[in-house]
Amino acid sequence: MKFGQQLRQSLIKDYYWHYIAYDDLKDALKKPFVNGKNGDREPWTDDDEAAFIQQLEAELDKVYTFQKLKSQEIISRIKAAEAEVKQVIERQENQTSPDTESDDDLEQDFDLLEADLSDIIADVHDLAKFTQLNYTGFQKIIKKHDKQTGLILRPSFATRLKAKPFFQDNYDAFIVTLSKLYDLVRTRGHPVKGDSSAGGAQQNFVRQTTKYWVHADNITELKLIILKHLPVLVFNPNKEFDEKDSAISSIYYDNPETWELYEGRLKKTEGAEAIRLRWYGGMENETIFVERKTHREDWTGEKSVKARFTLKEKNVNAFLAGKMTVEEAFAKMRREGKKSIQEIEDLEQLAREIQYRVITRRLKPVCRSFYHRTAFQLPGDARVRISLDTELTMVREDNLEGRQRSGNNWRRMDIGIDWPFSQLPPEDVERFPYAVLEVKLQTQAGQEPPQWVRDLTASHLVEALPKFSKFIHGVATLFPTHIHLLPYWFTQMDVDIRKPITHRFGIERPANVASYSTSDVDEDEVDSDEEPGDGQTTGRTTPFADGSTDGDDEQTRRLKAARRALHEHSRVQERDGQENGDAGAAPGNSLDEEERVAALPLTDEDYIYDSEADEEGNELEEARRSKSWKFYPLLLNHHIQQAGNAILYSWKKIPTSTPLPQNGGVGSVNPVGGQIQVKRFKAPAGKRIHVPVRIEPKVYFAAERTFLSWLEFSIILGSIAATLLNFGDGVSLASAWGFTIVASAALVYSVVIYYLRVQMIRQRRASISRYYDKYGTTALCIGLLAATAVSFAFRIREDGWFQ
């Protein structure tokens, strides 16, 4: 969608006069034509540049002033609400006798406070959207200016933006305060009590975790939605909120020669481990958590678990090098006696195993992940825990390629928590474009998650990414010359994850007037910096996108634009209300990319990932470069496959029946809206995409049972052939030969297919066509029919039935 149209559809009516005048700035860049509309425009002069910069400065000052005033207004409202909540709670505590009338008054006060806080939450949401839209508008207009005029304004205007940083407001402080107040009001002054730091002290974690990507445009909205159901988890409620308290840094270890931990975690092999060192807050924090995550397959009956213990920062190097023993590391813990002997022994065993693996496997620091985490959880209650990681960044920690990044230390010291780490070279840092939402549930067997959690994860605000890993993504991105096996999401990074609203879900004011996010677009259009009609028409009555003409004065154009914006806003709300009432409307996440393709009819070619074909092509290219003797056989095989595919494709094009629309088929209507499109993701040259494949022991047993079934059938046919050979005449001899050939072919075929399937299962290959026997059984039936027909033919000929 073009930004001008997006701005008109997404603006908030109460803020209308304070938005960037994007259309006016765009018109200011258009100079009159010299010789008609098909000729060139007048040249851009210094006076034009000065006038444009002055107009741009005025718009920046307007946006900055309003944002600053609105932010101060929200702060004042929060302080007033905080005082009112405190007064109501004190009245409740001072109430001596149970009086029904007093209880009703308190309940009414709590209702009013909840409505007031909901309105403040909506204001925070609107201000965040206002800021994001205007910042995008300034970036767009500067890009358009530099492109059309040839003058570079971006660097100098970046300095002006830093002087008036309306877009750098951190809403986390608002969110923490509002979360505390809303939790007090929602629980009527009796919030859930418990140890807020219980999650930080817990040694072993067993949870059901699902991960999602969140676009930067939806982060604040998502936080505000969650805080209305779960409070922000604050470890020290008596301490003023500080951004660095939410910073989390982790150093991941691996063997830079074999990358065994990376491949184990990527392939999800049984017992695959990830070893990392984590600390919370700044670099001055002396408490380091040494963690080991172990993957367990479902068929083992065990759950994947994360276990950890603490070390002082000064002891980390000595411990990992084996110079400090486990007993020395836990001597102080034994003296203090705060933990039981059994707990200490379990921690010592864990530390002994990690130390042994680091030394024997020659594990080194390879990658660091940094992010700010906002956790939502009831204190002391881990049944539902939601965390949102923003500003996620991966940094290289290795000493490869002749560069000493961490040296002999367990982490590099030239960076801290100074995001976005602008001092690092581009090849050492990967700034992840999305936030990562983790929904962690501890529910009983058969118990459904809360309804609001299901609504959240099915909304347009998130994109499901099962098994996403910061460690895997960081290593795959930062080590392109060392890593050749990529995660399945790697090729989807350039796909826009924003989706249209499919059902009413979001921040609503008490009067049920929804304030929707800017992702509510109309919405199969492509975003572009070019607006329609640029350089095409001129004249006094040229209609603008807002319905006005260039003959109108500025005030008239603004009023018409405002009316059109209000009309668009009402139309969007009416449409969403109709969709909300439609029983057939599907939630936004009900058909993600993998699920849409899984719902399609299976063919030989409709796969998401073409990793195997790329591998064969890479093998051919490698043989050509190395001048190996394998080149010509591979080339011949390649041409034969191409010819076979062409013949098969032509055969499939022959119309044999009338295709009927299928649910989820290509060209069918997507319940979310529009048509389903299958996307093919290609692995980069020299790389392979690893598609997650679940392998359980029963898969091996199924392959073995299939082989035994073929073997049994081959033995029966062989027995029939031996019987005919020993007890028959000449006709029986011919029949015996036929049955022997069919039995031998079936036996050889079953052995080859069994071997290939076992190899693919071991390698966790996701090629459906090679697990599905499409031609084997048909060929066996045809061979058996031919052998039987030969027997009948010879018998009929010998007996002379038709003579």
Strands 208-214 and 463-464: antiparallel
Q: Count CA within 13 A, CB hemisphere, residue 124.
A: 32
Residue 683 contacts residue 689 (beta carbons within 8 Å): yes
The Cα 427–Cα 429 span in angstroms is: 6
Strands 305-312 and 435-441: unpaired
- How many whole angstroms from its chain centre is CA 588? 14
**CB atoms closer than 10 angstroms to residue 793:** 13
Neighbour-count burial of 486, counting CB atoms closer than 10 A to its CB (0-12 exposed, 13-18 middle, 19+ buried): buried
The tokens for 102 are: 């007093």
The Cα 783–Cα 790 span in angstroms is: 11
Partners of 309 in the beta sheet? Answer: 290
The catalytic site residues sit at 470
- How many whole angstroms from its chain centre is CA 174? 26
Q: Is 188 left (phi over 0), alpha (psi -120 to 50) or beta?
A: left
Residue 38 contacts residue 60 (beta carbons within 8 Å): no
**Collapsed DSSP state (helix, strand, coil) of residue 378:** strand
Of 723, 717, 727, 719, the closest CA to residue 750 belongs to 717
Residue 233 contacts residue 375 (beta carbons within 8 Å): yes
The tokens for 446 are: 């058969």
Of 198, 342, 196, 357, the closest CA to residue 275 belongs to 357
The widest CA-to-CA distance across the chain, in whole angstroms, is: 118
- How many whole angstroms from its chain centre is CA 454? 17
Of 126, 532, 210, 501, the closest CA to residue 384 belongs to 210
The Cα 482–Cα 463 span in angstroms is: 29
